[in-house]
Amino acid sequence: MSIALTATKRDMKLDAKKLRAAGRTPAVLYAKGFENVHFSLDAKDLEKAIANKEVQYELNIDGETYNAGLKDISRDYLKDCIFHVDFLKQ
């Protein structure tokens, strides 16, 4: 079973701090031989999805769908929130 997440491509000129202040979490999708896709997810949706402990995610990034696994989660332990997420395209 996979969990569907909706995301928007990220403008790399926009500061990640501003994204987090707007309730978004920066993320990246990568794989060997695949151009990295930088995007952001709704922070609350991401927290719920990660709490399910699924290993398969269906990422819908501006209309394009990718199957991916969670590679790394960076957390801000002082604010108790997710700082950044890495997904590995499958």
CATH of the domain at 27: 2.40.240.10
Q: For the chain, how big is the Rg over CA atoms in Å?
A: 12
Q: How far apart are CA 75 and CA 15, in angstroms?
A: 18
For Cα atoms 2, 64, 44, give the angle at the middle one, nearest 5 degrees.
55
Q: Which domain holds residue 70?
A: 3-89
CA distance from start to end of the chain: 14
Structure tokens at 8: 């928007």
The answer to whether 19 touches 10, Cβ cutoff 8 Å, is yes
For Cα atoms 67, 70, 71, give the angle at the middle one, nearest 5 degrees.
120
Provide the whole-model pTM: 0.91
* pLDDT averaged per 10 residues, the chain (length 90): 93 87 96 96 94 87 96 92 95
Q: How many domains does the chain have?
A: 1
What integer pLDDT is reported at residue 62 of this predicted model? 96
